[in-house]
Amino acid sequence: MKSSGEKSTVTLSAVGDILLHGRVYGGLRKKSGYQFNKQLKNISSLLGKTDITIANLETIIAGNEIGLSSFPKFNGPVEIGYALKEMGVDLVTLANNHVLDRGEEGLLKSIANLEEIGLEYDGAYKSAEDSERLRIITKNGLRICFISYTRGTNGIKIPAEKPYLVNSLPKTTTLRLSKKLRKIKSDNLADVIVVNIHFGEEYHLNPSAAQRELVASLSDAGANVIIGHHPHVLQPPEWIENSRGMKTFVAYSLGNFFTGQNGLHRQIGASLSLKITKPDKKYKGIVIQDPKLDLTFVNREKRLRYDMYLLSEWVKNNEYIETEEGKFLSEDVYENLRSRMRKSIFDLEVN
C-alpha cells in the first residue's frame, strides 16, 4: 500500500478524428471483407502502449443493418470498432457534430455495437441513467474521469424529451459544465479529469479566441487535460496555468487520425501521449508531464483504399507527399509541422 507521500502515475494516449468516408474502406457497396487492421498496421505501435488509450470516433458504427453512408451523414462498418478494441483503445468519445447523422436509431444501434465489442464510450448515451454514469477508469491507484461535449450536431436537433442523447455545449453553459467538473473534484469522485471537446473552426491551423476562453474556464474548474477535436487539422498544444496555480495540458486539435479527407494538413494528425501524476496523496494537485506527439499520415493508396503511416517513416521512404493540389517535399512538411507544434511548448517532443 502506498504511503501518503508516495506518488501515483498513469500514462495516457489519445488520437484524433476517425471519420469514415466510404472511399476509405472500399465504398458503400462493400458489405464485408473490410481490412481495417491492415490499413492501420503501420501505426499500431501508437495504440494500446499506455495505461489508457482514447480516440474520437466521429462516425457512428451502426453498420450495414441501417445502411452504410458517407458525407454528409456518416455511418460506418461495425468492424472499425473491433479493430480499435483489438489495437488497444479503451474509450471512444462520441460527442461530435456527426453523432446524430442517422438519428436516434443510428446512435442507439452504434452504442449497442460498442457494448457488444466491449469498448467504453462517452459523450452520447442510450438513456438518462447511462448519461449520469461517470466514465471513470482506475489505473495505478488513480481515478481518471472522462467528460466529452460537442459544440453542435450539424443542425440536427436533439429531441427535447431526450436531452441525454448527446452532451451538447449549446444546451450546457460553460458555467454549468464548470460546476459539473468542480463537483466531481469536491465530491472526491475522481483524481483526474480529462475533457474531450468537439469545438473550434474547421481547417484552421490555430485555435480561435473562443477555444481559448472555454479551455481557460474548464482548466480553472478542475480539468487536468483538455483534448480538442473538429478542426480536422493539427493545432499547436499549450500549457495553461489557472488561478489555483495548477497547469492544464491543452491539445486544441489532434487533427484527423483515419479519414478519407484529402488535402495536406487534412491527411496529417497526431497521437498524443503524456504522463499523469499525483505527487502526494495529501494534496489534490495533479501534475501532467512528458507530453509527446507522434505525427501520422493517411495516404490514398488507390481508388477506395486509404492506409495509415507514421509521418516520420513516410518521410524516410518518400521524397514527396502528393495531393490534389500538388507535390510537397516530405522533409519540409515534417520539419515545418514539428516547428509549428512547438509554437508554445518549445521543448515538446514531436516525432
Q: What is the pLDDT of residue 2?
A: 45
- Residue 335 inside a domain? The answer is no
Contact 146/56 with Cβ under 8 angstroms?
A: no
Cα 344 to Cα 238: distance, rounded to the nearest angstrom: 6
Q: What is the pLDDT of residue 1?
A: 40
List the beta bridge partners of residue 138: 143
List the beta bridge partners of residue 92: 55, 121
Q: What is the pLDDT of residue 7?
A: 78
- Residue 231 inside a domain? The answer is yes
What does residue 74 show for φ and ψ, rounded to 5 degrees? -90, 145
Look at residue 97 and tell me whether its pLDDT is greater than 90: yes
- Residue 345 inside a domain? The answer is no
Q: What is the pLDDT of residue 6?
A: 62
Q: What is the pLDDT of residue 109?
A: 98
More confident residue, 50 or 8: 50
Q: What is the pLDDT of residue 4?
A: 47
Kindly indicate the confidence band of residue 171, based on its pLDDT and cuts at 50, 70 and 90. Answer: confident
Q: If 0-12 CB within 10 Å is exposed, 13-18 middle and 19+ buried, where does residue 208 land?
A: middle
Predicted TM-score of the model (pTM) = 0.95
Rounded percentage of the chain residues whose pLDDT exceeds 70: 98
Instruction: Provide the total of helices (H) and of strands (E) in the chain, helices listed first.
Output: 8, 19
Lowest mean pLDDT among 124-138, 159-173, 205-219: 159-173
Rounded to the nearest 5 percent, the helix, strand and coil shares of the chain are 30, 35, 40
Q: What is the pLDDT of residue 263?
A: 96
Cα 27 to Cα 8: distance, rounded to the nearest angstrom: 47
For residue 25, give the CATH number of its domain: 3.60.21.10
How many angstroms separate the Cα of 207 from the Cα of each of 203, 230, 278, 342?
10, 11, 29, 14
Kindly indicate the confidence band of residue 240, based on its pLDDT and cuts at 50, 70 and 90. Answer: very high
The order of strands in the sheet holding 238-241 is 135-139, 142-150, 192-198, 225-229, 247-251, 238-241
Q: What is the pLDDT of residues 29-64, one digit of tens each?
A: 998 999 999 999 999 999 999 999 999 999 999 999
Pairing status of strand 326-329 against strand 320-323: antiparallel
State the average pLDDT over residues 60-82.
97
Rounded percentage of the chain residues whose pLDDT exceeds 90: 92
- Residue 113 inside a domain? The answer is yes
- Residue 217 inside a domain? The answer is yes
Q: What is the pLDDT of residue 62?
A: 97
Nearest residue to 117 via CA among 174, 57, 195, 186: 57
State the average pLDDT over residues 66-71.
96
Instruction: Mention every residue, 6+ apart, whose C-beta is less than 8 A from residue 331.
Output: 315, 319
- Residue 317 inside a domain? The answer is no
On the question of a cis peptide bond just before residue 72, with omega within 30 degrees of 0, the verdict is yes
Q: What is the pLDDT of residues 13-29, one digit of tens each?
A: 999 999 999 999 999 99
Kindly indicate the confidence band of residue 291, based on its pLDDT and cuts at 50, 70 and 90. Answer: very high
Cα 78 to Cα 63: distance, rounded to the nearest angstrom: 5
Look at residue 172 and tell me whether its pLDDT is greater than 90: no
Q: What is the pLDDT of residues 113-126, one digit of tens each?
A: 999 999 999 999 99
How many angstroms separate the Cα of 214 from the Cα of each of 153, 195, 209, 220, 221?
18, 11, 9, 10, 11
List the beta bridge partners of residue 193: 145
Cα 96 to Cα 263: distance, rounded to the nearest angstrom: 22
- Residue 320 inside a domain? The answer is no
Pairing status of strand 120-122 against strand 135-139: unpaired
How high is the mean pLDDT of the chain? 95
Expressed as residue numbers, the domain containing 253 is: 8-311
Instruction: Mention every residue, 6+ apart, whose C-beta is less than 8 A from residue 44.
Output: 87
Q: What is the pLDDT of residues 336-351, one digit of tens each?
A: 999 999 999 999 999 9
Q: Which three cell numbers stand for residue 222?
A: 478542475
State the average pLDDT over residues 306-312.
97
Q: Which three cell numbers stand for residue 258?
A: 483515419
Q: How many domains does the chain have?
A: 1
- Residue 150 inside a domain? The answer is yes
